[in-house]
Chain A
């Protein structure tokens, strides 16, 4: 499999970002929730180790942004994993079963799709409180819906292929057909779609945290950093710019990787 230039660049940038998010904090004397009473809303510089400056309360933005990247990426990554497992299982089952079972299962997906999402998240936040787990649940609850639709459509196509019919004709039991014949042939579509899902979910997490429905202070996520930065946009633009740059870079890099994978796995879609 050959990836294009942009996909390889995206992969490199992504690897660098993740590496920085993990090892970066070791190079800073500051911790995520630590206040520097002497330097509030300080501009970026090497003085006192505030590489990206500080926020209104004197917390180090370098450490907080990297923590935000970790939180946002892991929520999006975990939710994608969940959508992978649930979506592939659900979609493959519906597509292979066909008929009335398929119709019923897909109507349930339609119903979940049409729930007013923000309202659902507010309810969840009220019940569970504002914490990363809530955001993860809120995102996971909808993340698998599109995956299930994509997988079902692909399974419908696979089911009509002759080698699946040959497996049926050989008396292979249905679970074995699903697991050994259908799922391996879904891998390409699923991999590409999952790579394209992560940036969407990062944006969704940021959106929820920006609205104050997601990850709560003092924990950091890209979304709530952006929300704080937006308030100081005129006096201290770095508070908005720093998390912005990280968000845009990560999402773009993931997008390039996804596009590259799609081209590499499906030459017809160019």
Chain B
């Protein structure tokens, strides 16, 4: 449908993006990211780190009160400052969005078939019988059993896992170049989660659809993403190939995130390796590194000057006292 531009510009290029709310609250600051066609990028961090705000800012879904500055280039077009009409054409058609809680994100009063067809109708792709046919096909693609009958059902008649599959189908139906998944498995049972992760891997693994995954679950990110960016207090503290970053983190925060996990084989009476302290409040701006007050490796200069993002091999990190390369956590 779209011709591939001649330049080697990535599908999504975010440069120096900041999102601020009234009253001086800064959600994210100075973010630069790139995502190639068919690539996959994971955004990880604690609650409130700004990862959802960052992801939703791409198709312009941040609250009205938010002010965005910087640049978001998607498929060769600038999205910051784009007209509402232009943004609407991108949403759904070129960028599909999967929300955290499918029970809340599916309209309770419309049947599955109506909601799927709505996306097609909104972008003038199909209507009537053709839309119904495409809806059934996309439900089959996300492995919803008995797709034809499901089209007539309402969201509350489906299980949580099926609801999330329908949500994914809604995001997928117009064949977008990018899918943004905002914590797609957080609201689901653990048993269902594995199925959804496998589905996302299957759908984005083909190299035609790029995936931007927001998650606090490092295991999910490691499974689905080639690249990862770790956010802390609205800034990127470490980014690089997912495997390298998660296996051998350079930033103490990434290392702490990786250890603060419960696994099935951890002893029941072993203390959880929680990160001491709390992230700074959204309005709070620290002069130095935002993680310094909680950091076990903090030096005195960490409280004074914010570390810049520096590259070392494939990864980039912002730390005055990084962990040595090649240490497993």
> Residue on B with the closest CB to A98?
B64
Contacts of B96 in A (CB 8 A): 170
Instruction: State the total of A-B contacts with C-beta under 8 angstroms.
Output: 64
| Shortest Cβ distance from residue B278 to the other chain A in the assembled complex, whole angstroms | 26
- Which of A146-165 touch B at CB < 8 Å? 161-163, 165
Question: B273 on the interface (CB 8 Å rule)?
Answer: no
Contacts of B167 in A (CB 8 A): 166
* Proximity string of chain A (167-199) to chain B, C-beta cutoff 8 Å, 1 when within and 0 when not: 111111100100011001100000000000000
| Shortest Cβ distance from residue B115 to the other chain A in the assembled complex, whole angstroms | 8
> Residue on B with the closest CB to A161?
B104
Contact across chains for A170 and B104 when beta carbons are under 8 A apart: no
Interface size of B by Cβ–Cβ distance < 8 Å?
Answer: 27
Q: A162-B101, A166-B170, A169-B97 are in contact. Are A185 and B119 (CB under 8 A)?
A: no
Question: B61 on the interface (CB 8 Å rule)?
Answer: yes
> Residue on B with the closest CB to A184?
B109
* Proximity string of chain B (90-110) to chain A, C-beta cutoff 8 Å, 1 when within and 0 when not: 111100110101001111111
Q: A173-B88, A181-B107, A184-B109 are in contact. Are A162 and B99 (CB under 8 A)?
A: yes
Contact of A163 among B61, B91, B97, B105 (CB under 8 A): B105
Contacts of A165 in B (CB 8 A): 61, 99, 105
Q: A165-B61, A170-B97 are in contact. Are A176 and B122 (CB under 8 A)?
A: yes
Contact across chains for B105 and A172 when beta carbons are under 8 A apart: no
Question: B143 on the interface (CB 8 Å rule)?
Answer: no
Contacts of A168 in B (CB 8 A): 61, 91
A interface, size bucket: 10 to 19
* Proximity string of chain B (225-263) to chain A, C-beta cutoff 8 Å, 1 when within and 0 when not: 000000000000000000000000000000000000000
Contacts of A167 in B (CB 8 A): 107, 118
Question: B123 on the interface (CB 8 Å rule)?
Answer: yes
Question: B285 on the interface (CB 8 Å rule)?
Answer: no
Contact across chains for B61 and A169 when beta carbons are under 8 A apart: yes
Question: A99 on the interface (CB 8 Å rule)?
Answer: yes
A168, B99: Cα distance in complex, Å: 12
Question: B152 on the interface (CB 8 Å rule)?
Answer: no
Contact across chains for A170 and B64 when beta carbons are under 8 A apart: no
Contact across chains for B119 and A170 when beta carbons are under 8 A apart: yes
A45, B96: Cα distance in complex, Å: 76
Question: B67 on the interface (CB 8 Å rule)?
Answer: no
A181, B106: Cα distance in complex, Å: 11
Question: B113 on the interface (CB 8 Å rule)?
Answer: no
Q: A163-B105, A167-B118 are in contact. Are A172 and B110 (CB under 8 A)?
A: no
Contact across chains for B89 and A171 when beta carbons are under 8 A apart: yes
| Shortest Cβ distance from residue A52 to the other chain B in the assembled complex, whole angstroms | 48
A110, B104: Cα distance in complex, Å: 34
A121, B170: Cα distance in complex, Å: 53
A171, B91: Cα distance in complex, Å: 5
Contact of B99 among A99, A166, A181 (CB under 8 A): A166
A129, B133: Cα distance in complex, Å: 61
| Shortest Cβ distance from residue B156 to the other chain A in the assembled complex, whole angstroms | 12
Which 3 A-B residue pairs are closest in the complex by CB-CB distance?
A171-B92, A170-B92, A171-B91
Interface residues of A (CB under 8 A from B): 98-99, 161-163, 165-173, 176, 180-181, 184-185
Given A167-B107, A176-B118, 6 more A-B residue pairs with CB atoms under 8 Å apart are A162-B101, A162-B105, A166-B170, A170-B122, A171-B123, A180-B118
Q: Can you list 27 A-B pairs, Cβ within 8 angstroms, ordered by A?
A: A99-B64, A161-B104, A162-B99, A162-B104, A163-B105, A163-B106, A165-B99, A165-B105, A166-B105, A166-B107, A166-B170, A169-B97, A170-B92, A170-B96, A170-B97, A170-B170, A171-B90, A171-B91, A171-B119, A171-B123, A172-B92, A172-B119, A173-B122, A176-B118, A176-B122, A180-B110, A180-B118
